[in-house]
Structures are given as structure tokens and as C-alpha cells.
Amino acid sequence: VLLFMIFVLSSFLDNIAAALIGGTIARTVFRGKVHIGYLAAIVAASNAGGSGSVVGDTTTTMMWIDGVDPLDVLEAFVAAGAAMFVFGIPAALQQQRYSPISADPAPGIRVDWPRVAIVALILIAAIIANVLVNVKYAELSDRFPFIGAAVWVALAVTAPWRRPQWSLLPSAFRGSIFLLSLILCASLMPVEKLPAAAWPTALGLGFVSAVFDNIPLTALALKQGGYDWGYLAYAVGFGGSMIWFGSSAGVALCSMYPQGRSVGLWLKHGWHVALAYVIGFFLMYAIIGWHPNAPHKAPPAAQTQERSPYSPS
């Protein structure tokens, strides 16, 4: 149920926020004992939910800004929904064996309703900023961190009511620096062209995005064209879940759960994520087929010059 909630939440909210919300709930209901396989599933659910929505993931938003029809991306939900069941059930069983969910609250715990209201306000501010900017001002969405600014405004407004936990900033800052370093390294890689657009290429991009930032990959694919954008959205969006640093949601979640920062353990216990990626991809291929979308950008108009009858031939 928690994984499905994260999946739905990430379809209209940023996948990082969805993963952090899911991680916070998991820490409470599982009393701080969260299996690494379940951590991988939380990241996978947040990435899968955003893969079919142009406001749910940075890569799909990039496609929208570039001129791709949002309906062309929507088909990614076919693969993402199937993948959700493939990794969700084994992950839930792993977590149940490791630390069963606690339905009864610990004695002495009470709900701090003002904090609940603050969290709700922050969430609403992030959702409004995400949807408003990407729907009304899509051309500006990559020029300023609007969602982050909305969260900071909500924090500043509510700070007199309840003091924020500033002690969490150092670990969050380290995670942010690590993520920015990954993006910087990826942007410096001498990759100027992708293989010819085809479904095997799209399938491979999912595995590449687990170790290579998906933003440059998406930019190259948009520049090259010839893809079925639903496949690309699913591949670069969900594929990064296979390794903890393959997506920003994974990096953010592992700032809460440092035990997840192990590639070996992530692959060992999160094996169902890679399996789900492949099954979801081929299920979409079997149901929908590969249909490259028409160019979403008009070719530059040919500039002609009238030649003077006196000009040399």
C-alpha cells in the first residue's frame, strides 16, 4: 500500500519528494528498520510513478518543454504499472520478514497536529509550484528551482509556529553536493551522440541511466529524435532505480538511510527492480509496440537568397 501511494504521489509531485515522504512513513511504521530491498522499491515506485507524467520527473518535464506531446509520454504508465507489481510484491515480502509493519502506535506517542498541518502546507506548496510552473510557464521551469523555493517559503512562513529541524541540514547538504557532482561529471563526459533510435537502444538506455545521469541522456535523445517517447520516458526514468545513485530520488533517500549506499547490497536485495524494468519494458512492447513519434520540432526554415543577375555564378 505504501509503495502504491508513493507511485501515485510521484505522478503529480516531484519524485524526490515522493521518495522522501515514503521513506519518512516507512521509518515510522517499520520502527526504523527498513530492508534495503524495500528502500530500492521506494525509489523504484517514485521513479515509476513519474515516468508517465510530464510533471512527475525531470526527464519527462524536459520532453514537454522541448515540445513533446504529454500524451506521447502517458503510455509509459503501461510499463511502470506492470513493473510496480513485479518489484512491489517481493519487496513487501522482504520487509515483512525483516520488520513487520506496526499497526499499533508505541505508548506515549501523540500526534502533533500543528506539525501535520505544516507538512501538509509544504506538500501543497510543492504540488502547486510543480503543476503551475510546468503547465503555465514551462519555458521557465529549467531556469529557477521553483519547487525548492516554494518549500523554503512554506518553511519560513511556518517557522514561528514550529521550529524546523535544522540539524538535518548537514546530511541533506552532503547528499545535494554528491548529486550535483554526479550531474557535473555526467555533463563532462565526451558523449555527443546516441546509437540509432530503436527499441533495443531505449532498453539499453535504462541500464545506462543507472550509472550515468539521465538528464544528459534525455537531452541527447531529444536532439537526435526518432524515439517512441513513452519508451524513453520509462527507460531513463525507471532505469536509474537499479542502483542507489542512479537517480536523484535514490540519493535523497539514502541520505535518510545511509545503509543503502552500497551498490552490492542494493543489487543483491533490490534484484526485483532490474527484473521489473525488463518485464515492464517488454510488456509495453507486446501491448503497444514500438511507434517512433513524429518530429516534435519544425525543421529550421530554409533561408533563400535571391541572386542578382549580375552576381557571379
| 209-to-28, 159, 217, 235 alpha-carbon distances in Å | 31, 38, 8, 8
> 14 — alpha (psi -120 to 50), left (phi > 0) or beta?
beta
What is the reported pLDDT for 205? Answer: 93
Low-confidence ranges of the chain (pLDDT < 70): 103-109, 168, 171-172, 175, 179, 182-183, 186-191, 296-313
Burial class from Cβ neighbours inside 10 Å (0-12, 13-18, 19+) for residue 22 reads buried
Q: What is the pLDDT of residue 184?
A: 74
Distance CA 223, CA 67 (A): 11
Q: How far apart are CA 70 and CA 131, in angstroms?
A: 13
CB atoms within 10 A of CB 297: 11
Rg of the chain (C-alpha set) = 21
Q: What is the pTM of this model?
A: 0.79
Q: What pLDDT, on a 0 to 100 scale, did the predictor assign at position 305?
A: 42
pLDDT score recorded for residue 187: 66
Rounded to an integer, what distance in angstroms lies between the CA atom of residue 43 and that of residue 139?
A: 28
Q: What is the DSSP letter of 143?
A: T
